[in-house]
């Protein structure tokens, strides 16, 4: 069982380890509030008492440190359905893209493997393009279920009162080989984009092609601040396209860096589910 993972990030040492001290959990609470932009009176992403209870009873509460500075936090629990469910994970603003999120995910996977757990699961907002690419393409997590309005209203600067639709993903501990995908042009667009606005599906999923793709905006978080109506239109369009397809039996087979969910109907000729793209 691996309780700590050490990496090199720029010139500072990156270490991911479990938290047991209440003082560090208070620091983790402040960090996550900063990540989610939770001000006074807003919902805390992961409360200190929850961290303390999880840690004491064998749950997963960990943080990433650059030298001695806490820069990321992740926490979750071993679900009765089987996986280690990662309830929250965040990296301090300004340090995204530095390998910290990847190191925390690798630590979670190592912890799960050390406890005989077959996979790690979590949810994320399907409208956030960088998260979709990281989860589905870089890590190779498998999209399992689209969950409309999963958390209800969350008051913080990231969610900004938006509908909290989430995509539930599962990441097996055992490595899998990537599979080849047809070119992007082979997938018919069921949700497209014109400027900042989505193009909503005009037909039912039963009428869609065997391979379809669903666009997401370049930066939904900025759009929520500058054009809430467009952001809400995107939520409903992706709900109709991505959720509609998955409810009709389509599988998410990848996410293209240019901003497309790629899906296939089970009866199509392309039956290999890719792990990465």
Other CB atoms closer than 10 Å to residue 197's CB: what's the count? 15
pLDDT the model gives residue 2: 47
* Consecutive 10-residue averages of pLDDT for the chain (277 residues): 53 92 96 88 88 95 96 95 95 90 97 96 96 95 95 58 88 82 95 93 94 96 91 96 97 96 84 35
Question: pLDDT value at position 276?
Answer: 30
Domains of the chain: 4-172 (3.40.630.30), 184-264 (no CATH)
Q: In what order do the strands lie in the sheet with 197-199?
A: 197-199, 188-194, 211-215, 260-264, 251-256
For residue 179, the model assigns a pLDDT of: 74
pLDDT at position 10: 58
pLDDT at residue 116, as a whole number: 95
Rounded to two decimals, the pTM is 0.87
pLDDT of res. 270:
54
């Amino acid at each position: 069982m691996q309780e700590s993972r050490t990496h090199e990030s720029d010139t500072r040492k990156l270490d991911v380890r479990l938290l047991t001290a209440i003082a560090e959990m208070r620091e983790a609470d402040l960090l996550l509030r900063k990540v989610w932009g939770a001000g006074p009176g807003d919902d805390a992403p992961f409360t200190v008492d929850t961290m303390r209870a999880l840690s004491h009873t064998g749950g997963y509460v960990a943080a990433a440190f650059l030298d001695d500075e806490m820069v990321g936090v992740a926490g979750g629990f071993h679900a009765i359905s089987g996986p280690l469910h990662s309830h929250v994970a965040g990296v301090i603003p300004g340090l995204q893209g530095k390998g910290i999120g990847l190191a925390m995910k690798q630590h979670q996977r190592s912890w799960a493997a050390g406890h005989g757990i077959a996979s790690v699961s979590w949810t994320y907002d399907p409208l956030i393009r960088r998260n979709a690419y990281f989860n589905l393409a870089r890590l190779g997590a498998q999209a399992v279920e689209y969950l409309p309005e999963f958390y209800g209203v969350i008051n913080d600067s990231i969610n900004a009162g938006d509908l909290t639709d989430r995509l539930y993903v599962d990441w097996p501990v055992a490595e899998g080989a990537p599979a080849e995908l047809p070119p992007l042009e082979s997938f018919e667009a069921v949700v497209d984009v014109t400027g900042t606005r989505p193009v909503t599906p005009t037909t039912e999923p039963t009428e869609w092609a065997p391979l379809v793709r669903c666009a997401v905006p370049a930066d939904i978080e900025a759009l929520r601040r500058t054009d809430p109506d467009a952001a809400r239109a995107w939520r409903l369009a992706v709900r109709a396209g991505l959720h509609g397809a998955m409810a009709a039996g389509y599988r998410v087979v990848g996410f293209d860096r240019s901003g497309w969910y790629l899906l296939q109907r089970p009866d199509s000729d392309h039956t290999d589910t890719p792990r990465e793209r």
